[in-house]
Structures are given as C-alpha cells and as structure tokens.
Structure 1
Amino acid sequence: MIKGLLTTLREMFQQPVTIQYPEVKRPVRTRFKGRHVLKRYENGLEKCIGCSLCAAACPADAIFVESAENTDEERYSPGERYASTYEINMLRCIFCGFCEDACPTEAIVLGDNYELSFTDRHQSIYTKDMLLEPVPPGGKPTPQNTEPGKYTRSVPVMQDPQD
C-alpha cells in the first residue's frame, strides 16, 4: 500500500503530457497521411489526367473518377483527358496512400491536415472542387483557352524504307 502511495506522489510532480488541442496543435510526423489534395502545375493546369489508376489502386473503393476530353477552348490538364468528376468518400478511405503511389503525374497527395469532421454523410464525400489546391501565383484558373496544337503530342511520321 505504501509503495502505491509513493508512486502516486512521485507522479503528481511530473510535467503533464496533455496538449490543449484546439489552441495548441501538435506537429505531425513526416510520413503522416492526412487529407487528400489534388495538385496543379505552375501555370494553373491540373495535374490529374483522369486515368483512374488511383481508383483502381484503392483497396477500400473510396475514389470515383470520370474523365472527359480536353479541347483547345477548354483545357484543364496538359494531356488529352482530364478528370471531369473526382470524388473521394472519406468515410471509406483508410489513408493507405496507394492512390498517391499509383498516380503517374503525382496529382493526388496525402497532406498533413488531420482535422476532418462531418455532421452527415454528404459532407464526407470530397469533390474535385474541395480537393483541388488553389491556383498558384502567376497561373490561370481552369478551364484555360490555349492556342491550337500547344499541348498535342506530335508523333514522328515514319518514312517508308522503299521510298
């Protein structure tokens, strides 16, 4: 009994480890995986090309991607396609980071924001507008009007060896 009281008295004079959360925010670790962010290029175009590899890699089936074709009048990404619909169901997401690993253009990134709260199910579905980062300084918002042929792939024409 005395041993237990001594342990209690000794712990009374230790510094508390409690953090006053809303006022003081604890720094996250370097490998922490938090809220998703869709990245942009410096000129304002979206990095997501609508390939749906992130949705295929997601083990929880939390990502839905629908792609559409880019035109010179309405250009969202430098590729041929862009993600017209991009949704993540945060109630299903397990924050594994497979979507980040599968993305060929590094468009989806799991950031360090851990403050996620919802009052109903509809708030837990993050749309493309909620996920897309702001336009960088000097960039233009999407859709952009581009000059014809600026972002098309030029495929070299093979010469016939008999010519």
Structure 2
Amino acid sequence: MRVVIKNVFKRKDTIAYPEVRRRPYPRYKGRHILDRHPDGLEKCIGCELCAGVCPADAIYVVGAENSPGQRFSPGERYAHIYQINYLRCIFCGLCVEACPTEALLMTTEFE
C-alpha cells in the first residue's frame, strides 16, 4: 500500500501515443535517405562501401557507369539499385560513417 500511495502523486511518464507525439532526440538514428546535390544529381557513386561495412548485411547496392548522354551523378558511377532491408537493419549508423561522399544520411523518422 505504501508503494501505491507514494506513486499516485508523482508525475506520469506515459503519453497517449497516437494523439500526443514525442519529438525524437537530436541524435536519434531513424530511417536512411540518399541525399542529392543542389543540381539534382545523386551524391551516391555506387562504391558499395556502405554494404561492405554493414554488420547485418542489410544493404544491397549495384553500381553502374554513367553514360555521356545521361548522367545520374557527377562521378563516373552511380547506384543503379540501392536497397536497405529494414527487417535486418540494426540502425547502427556505420553505413553513414563509411560513405565517402556523405550521400547516406539517417533521419529522425521512426514511423
């Protein structure tokens, strides 16, 4: 009974989730996004370093060469296929650290 009386008057820690949404912390690691240059070209050069460093083997990248008539990135290569399996991803952020062009970012989205 003493525990109940002690905790009845404390501030409640629970929130009504769907109606009240809590802002994530600034360093929260959520979904990944591939960033682009201001001119619209992809930053990703298809080097596959992110896939190589991923401990969960959740990233699949297939790089392709840019053609002279159609350019997707400023470099020689671009990521033709870029897939992240979120069922395997552990959201560690190693892929973001390994990216040499800073094309891969983690947002604070969690829904």
Q: TM-score, normalised on structure 2?
A: 0.93
Residue of structure 1 in register with 2:61 after alignment: 65
Question: Structure 2 matches for 1:40-119, cutoff 5 A?
Answer: 40-115=36-111
The one-letter code of the counterpart of 2:20 is V
Give 1:82 deviation, angstroms.
0.3
Q: Partners in 2 of 1:48 and 1:69 — Cα distance?
A: 12
- Relative contact order: is structure 1 or structure 2 higher (C-alpha 8 Å, sep ≥ 6)? 2
Once residues 63 and 8 of structure 2 are traced to their aligned partners in structure 1, the CA distance between those partners, rounded to angstroms, is 60
Letter of the 1:7 counterpart: V
C-alpha RMSD of the superposition: 1.1
**Paired residues, what number?**
111
Instruction: Kindly indicate whether residue 34 of structure 2 is the aligned counterpart of residue 28 of structure 1.
Output: no
* Alpha-carbon displacement from aligned partner over 1:8-59 (angstroms, at most 9, x marks no partner): 1232122221111112221212221110110011111111000000000101
AA paired with 1:76?
Answer: F
The structure having more radius of gyration, on CA atoms, is: 1
Give the whole-Å Cα distance in 1 for the aligned partners of 2:42 and 2:101: 10
Distance 1:38 1:83 in 2: 10
User: Which 4+ runs in 1 deviate beyond 3 A?
Assistant: none
* CA drift at 1:72: 3.0
Q: Distance in 2 between matches of 1:59 and 1:7?
A: 44
Output the CA distance in 1 between the equivalents of 2:12 and 2:101: 45
Query: 1:45, 1:26 → 2: CA distance?
Result: 34
Q: 2:9 matched to 1:13?
A: yes
% of aligned pairs identical?
Answer: 56
CA deviation after TM superposition for structure 1 residue 78, in Å: 0.5
Structure 2: gaps of 5 or more residues? none
Equivalent position amino acid for 2:12 in 1: P
Unaligned runs of 5+ in 1: 116-163
